[in-house]
Amino acid sequence: MIDLEQVLTRAGRRRYPEQSQRAARALSERAVDNGLIDVAITAIDSPVGPIMLAATRRGLIRVSFAQGLDPAGFAAQLCAEVSPRVLEAPGYFDPNRKELDEYFEGRRTRFDLPLDWSLTGGFTRRVLKETARIPYGKVSTYGQVATAAGNPRAFRAAGNALGSNPIPIFVPCHRVIRTGGDIGNYGGGPETKRWLLQLEGAI
């Protein structure tokens, strides 16, 4: 009898994580469907390392390269910036995950899912909107982006705007380089920026 109890206990332990994950996923999906949360978050793996995603009903609102960024810190940031009603909901991001997979495999040259621009404003938003128009496989300079955004002399401000881009990859700030060809800085690190530009055939 003791042996049977041990077998049942071990079997229960094996099933518990899977059942727990299914229950958590179902709970998060129901919360999203019923409008009980304002921000959904998840983490995904990619060729450039872990990436954290956040979305509202309007669309994707924040993308962060997760080196050194824990999920709790990411959620806390969104609580302060957007709303305290934040919940991990991996299933909500299946369309984003699909588009990112296609992009990283070289099969997608533009993203089609909606973006939420509410973490940007003023000149920063104009810079990022112009950046979003840079075609796949092409690059622009900070000066060119500043000019397109309406202020040719504000190339340093354009650089700051790009440095604070809340939706990298989807808003391709990696396609903006310095005059002369130096790739410049990037939130995910220069290696990631170079990798993305090489993926797109821009360098």
**Catalytic residue set:** 173
How many contiguous H segments (helices) and E segments (strands) does the chain have? 7, 6
Return the closest-CA partner of residue 68 out of 90, 49, 55, 87: 49
Phi/psi at 174 (nearest 5 deg)?
Answer: -70, -15
Query: Alpha helix locations (H) across the chain?
Result: 2-33, 71-81, 94-104, 122-131, 142-148, 155-163, 190-199
Take residue 181 and report the two structure tokens written for it: 């060809």
Q: Which residue has the tokens 């040259």?
A: 109
- Backbone angles phi and psi of 121, in degrees to 5: -170, 165
Residue identified by tokens 């950046």 is 131
Cα distances from 100 to residues 93, 120, 188, in angstroms, run 10, 23, 16
Burial zone of 89 (CB within 10 Å; 0-12 exposed, 13-18 middle, 19+ buried): buried
